[in-house]
Structure 1
Amino acid sequence: MADHEDFNYTWAPGTVAIEEAHPSGHSIILQPKPTIDPNDPLNWSWGRKVLNYALVSYYVLWTFVELDIGFTAWGPMIEELGLSIGNLNTGVALNYAGLGFGCIFFIPFVHKYGRRPLYLISVLVQLLACLWQAKVNNEGNYIGANLLSGIGGAISETVVQVTIADVFFVHQHATMNAFYLLFTAIGAFLGPVASGYIVVDQGWRWIWWWCVIFIGINLIAVVFFYEETKYVPAIYGQNTASHTEAITNELAEVFRRNSVQAGSEDPKHHEPQAIAHMHSATSNEIRIKTYQERLALWTPTPGGIAHHFYQPIIMLFTFPAVTYTALTYGGSLATFAIMTSVQATYMLLPPYNFSAVGIGLMNIPPFIGCLLGFFVGYLNDISILRLSKRNAGIFEPEMRLWLALPAIIILPAGILMFGIGLAKGVAWPLLAVGYGVWGFGFSVAADISLAYCTDCYQDIVSDALVGIVFSRNLFSVIVLFTLTPWINGMGIQNLHILTAVVIFVILCIPLALLKYGKRARIWTKNRYAYYALKQPTSRTF
């Protein structure tokens, strides 16, 4: 066994060798390691991966369109159906409840039967929900349609992260998460812009008929083009202890070779060199699946799924990285729920007197902010390669967290600009700037927290994300059920100040993780191995 004590390296979940030095440059070590099977999604051609993820992105876009356009129709719905602001907030809260509890119910079947059947069920339920939304004629219909809509979109935030882990490598995770958040932003922010014009020109029911059309296209695309990404690798005779020793030896060996290479480099060659990507080798002896096999309705694996219904909640409180992501992602989206509801209600009133079009257009600034934040995701993947190179080729997930630090100031600042400005009745452009600043901070914080969690615990990411998404929706449900009395008791200004303070404290968590994050991962490694062994698609154990 390598004398890894000399290099002070102990394996922890997420710690992997990601770069190796050569006289001609540095090559990327692919993590997780792909098999020799050409059917392994990690071995798919880039075009095949792009098609698969493009379908996923289209699914995400229309999921968030149908989840977030409803508030642009609040004014006409109040007039036509006689609904109150409390009724409307209750419907949205139940929508979030459907998202949270639906996720807990559906995701265990992703493990058992694959990703493809759950995508199909999700799109079909969304289609039915939009049909119902278009036919709403009373409070009960409105609440029921919102609940069904939430159930239909319940898996969107989890199964997409599972797909990213299935298909892409560690050094691509933040970029793919940035794409996910970009398409989320397009749906959540630009969808209401379009729906505002539709409400004015065609009537509020037509926002749902257009969703029926485009989600119907999504259903056809998933049926005929979306390939199953679930893959069960064959790992024989490797228990937890042997795995830990093997990984530790690999880390130590890469550290040793890179240190030797660094010491032998001529100083004049220290400028950045081109990175050569290492490609995986596949076996020609393994038959490539046919088109029909790739589009099988389900891909079952043996074993029970009961543990997947309660494990997510346990992980939420026993894995610090999961807790951090839940607080960051959930807290950030709870602030979005507050700001969306507040602007949809109070910007209809003087001094703004916005129409449905104006309410929709207010979503352009946060979209621009999220678009700028998308590039931070790409920079995050570049930065971890550079930091790993400085760390003798060893990647630690905490390397991602440095770029999360600006969000500590940016996101709360956006909330304060928007909330205090609205309370003071300032000109709407200042509110728009604050909303855009919030969008940038949200995109950066959410992207990096999701990538960090995926990198730390890739083999259990689906269960971890169920707990994260459940807590995110729980936060939003609580906020929306209490928002009206909260504003009545505290006022809009103090509401946003309190919200900014709470999210500021949450966004400071990376400061602690940069110092203690690896210790926390070492502390959880046996528990991680225990849960990973229960996963049929684990690539590690």
Structure 2
Amino acid sequence: MAPSTEPDQDPDFWAPGTVVIADRDQLINGAILHPTPTDDPNDPLNWTTLRKAVNFTLVSLYVLLTFVQLDIGFTAWEQMQGELGFSVDQLNGSAAVNYAGLAVGCILFIPFAYKYGRRPVYLFSALLQFVGCIWFATTENLGDSYGSNLISGLGGAISETIAQMTIADLFFVHDHASMNGWYLFSTFTGAYLGPVASGYIVESQGWRWMWWWCVILFGINLVLILLVFEETKFTRVLTGSHEVGPGQDERNESTDTSRDKHPQLQQVSSTVQLDSQPRKKSYRERLAWVTKTDGSMLHDFYQPVVVLFTFPAVAYTAATFGTLLAWFAILISTQSTYLFLPPYNFTAVGVGLMNLAPFVGSLPGVFFGGYLNDKSIVWLAKRNNGIYEPEMRLWLALPMAIITPAGILVFGLGLNSGASWPILAVGLGMFAFGLTVAGDVALSYSMDCYHDIVGNALVGVVFVRNVLAVVVLFALTPWTNAMGLQGLHIFISVVCFVVLLIPAALLVWGKKGRVATRTAYMKMSQQQPTARDFS
């Protein structure tokens, strides 16, 4: 069905994120690529499939190991309490320091990835985590615990943003969802299955060897990044001409209004011609320590905060991710505190194995929030005369306002009443499913609304969610003492329900918010240090 021409007369109709996709199936084929690759053999978009696969496999390994070291610590809590005399409150404080490092590190380091390239930031991050794991393994007092958690948090902070930057460097738009799926799979594997392995290590070799194994793995990862990972940042210099491809006609070339409204119909088929064929870089050149871009990076330090408080879609994503991570931190902390006690009397192995439940719950969540969500928006757009609005993604998030709080209640009330562990596992699985779907939808919605500023938007989102986790973990012990396990989980389930109902409001007023922020979005887009032109 052809898009309606009536909305074309309304300048407010074409808000950021509103696009025409009715003819997409006819336009996209093997010859049409977006963004448009150059003729430069050094352009990561022109790399062979094997070369891309090797690079992104290293990124996936880096992400997996990062989430292993961020999430395995609680399996050692019982032994650390006995050997070092730490209290649960002190261990929660150490975890909070880790989240503080995660919150601050992203703001500190991501601007350097824009300015000096991805490779040096990956190396620095992996080195920090390597050092942090050594410090973990040699911990003797509370100061060591706080310091090692801070270093590991700072080192792991960039993992949730730089991976998406690498995906954008290497892959075309039609590959992004699949690559993000692999990223999420790496995240869940590290976060949920890492504690399963660490539980066995703690029982058989002691809690310190849990960290020594991490030292070994991060050492291998560091060497692989140093010797194999190629810089994916690419800056092109256009010295030739822009040649019109078969997807553009004379009318498209001369009609600026149509170009603004249907950019994907006119730009995706173009090619960039350079005056001479650039030389392919040598192996050593591809492993350069620094790939510097001219210009100031000052705005990249403060723009994430500005974006966070300027665009409703980004604020919604931050609220969703922030609260969900805070509730996840509470569930993990209470699990690692109370499952060691009667009536459960779990060992470190048992506590680690409980993480199989959220891992299993997250797997259908990846399908539901990713593949099924993408299919649903195409169907909805076709019913809307071919016009896609980002709010169409939000329908699948609404059921999560029921499922996710229900998972919290099943786990929390079950733990309070001494229910059997399979009931607790069901609650954790329900929560993980809701977290995955709601988080995926929120992230996709924000990217669709404001795709040109997604890097700094993600920095703001990660900052908020980790700050909330810090506050919750520092307050958890007195909070639990004041309200009890039952009251605590009822309270957070209610807050979770309210936050996950935000999509209902955005379905009504979301587009008005995008229209109101259009001018600010255009100004911020022009400040982005991107090497490619998506206009």
Alignment of structure 1 residues 262-273 onto 2, 5 Å: none
Closer/same/farther in 2, CA of residues 514 and 43 from structure 1, 3 Å limit = farther
**Post-superposition shift, 1:95?**
0.4
What corresponds to 1:160 in structure 2? Answer: 163
Are 1:352 and 2:353 counterparts?
no
Q: CA deviation at 1:114?
A: 1.4
Q: d(CA) in 2 for partners of 1:457 and 1:65?
A: 31
Q: 1:292 to 1:45 in 2, by over 3 A?
A: same
- Secondary structure (helix, strand or coil) at the match of 1:286 reads coil
In the alignment, structure 1 residue 296 sits paired with structure 2 residue 288: yes
Q: Alpha carbons of 1:314 and 1:19: their partners in 2 closer, same or farther (altered >3 Å)?
A: same
Q: Does 1:69 align with 2:69?
A: no
* Structure 2: distance between partners of 1:481 and 1:405: 31
Shifted more, 385-394 versus 145-154: the winner is 385-394
Match of 1:226 in 2: 229
- 71-80 or 307-316: bigger deviation: 307-316
Which residue is 2:444 aligned to? Answer: 451
2: CA distance, partners of 1:69 / 1:6: 53
1:491 is paired with a residue of what secondary structure?
Answer: helix
Alpha-carbon displacement from aligned partner over 1:81-100 (angstroms, at most 9, x marks no partner): 11111110110000000111
Residues 281, 38 of structure 1: alpha-carbon distance in 2 compared, 3 angstrom cutoff: farther
Moved more, 10-19 or 207-216: 10-19
Instruction: Name the aligned partner's letter for residue 98 of structure 2.
Output: N
Where in structure 2 are the equivalents of 1:132-531 lying within 5 Å? 132-233=135-236, 246=256, 248-249=258-259, 251=261, 285-287=276-278, 288-376=280-368, 377-531=370-524
Q: Are the counterparts in 1 of residues 118 and 232 from structure 2 also a CA contact under 8 Å?
A: yes
C-alpha distance in 2 between matches for 1:392 and 1:172: 25
Distance in 2 separating the partners of 1:196 and 1:253: 52
Distance 1:195 1:388, change over 3 A: same
Aligned to 2:28: 27
Letter in 2 for 1:402: W
**Residues 49-86 of structure 1: CA deviation (Å, up to 9, x unaligned):** 33332221111100010011010000000000111111
Higher alpha-carbon deviation: 379-388 or 339-348: 379-388
For 1:539, give the aligned amino acid. Answer: D
Q: Aligned partners of 1:387 and 1:37: how far apart in 2? A: 39
- What residue number does 1:539 align with? 533
Distance verdict in 2 for CA 1:163–1:21, change over 3 Å:
closer
**Contact 1:233–1:539 (8 Å) recurs in 2:** no
CA contact (8 A) 1:114 1:228 kept: yes
Which secondary structure does the structure 2 equivalent of 1:205 belong to?
helix
- Asked if structure 2 preserves the Cα contact closer than 8 Å seen for 1:34 and 1:42, the reply is yes
Q: Which of 128, 137, 153 matches 1:125?
A: 128
Query: In the TM superposition, what is the alpha-carbon distance from 1:515 to its structure 2 partner?
Result: 2.9
The 8 Å contact of residues 4 and 385 in structure 2, kept in 1 or not, is answered as: no
* Alignment partner, residue 250 of structure 2: none
Give the secondary structure class of the aligned counterpart of 2:334.
Answer: helix
Q: Distance in 2 between matches of 1:49 and 1:216?
A: 23
Alpha-carbon distance in structure 2 between the residues aligned to 1:398 and 1:235: 37
Rounded Cα–Cα distance in structure 2 between residues aligned with 1:46 and 1:435: 38
**Deviation for aligned residue 1:394:** 4.2
Structure-2 separation of matches of 1:515 and 1:31: 32
Q: Does the aligned pair in 2 maintain the 1:254–1:393 contact within 8 Å?
A: no
The normalised TM-score by structure 1 is 0.88
RMSD: 2.9
- The 3 A distance-change label for structure 1 pair 159 and 70 is same
Question: Is the contact made by 1:178 and 1:374 (CA closer than 8 Å) also made in structure 2?
Answer: yes
Contact 2:59 2:163 survives alignment (8 Å): yes
Count residues with an aligned counterpart: 513
Give the superposition deviation at 1:174.
3.8
Q: For residue 166 of structure 1, report the CA deviation from its aligned partner.
A: 3.0
1:78 is aligned to 2:81: yes
Shift, 1:390, TM fit:
4.4
CA distance in 1 between partners of 2:277 and 2:21 (Å)? 27
Q: 1:401 to 1:54 in 2, by over 3 A?
A: farther
What is the TM-score of this pair, normalised by structure 2?
0.88
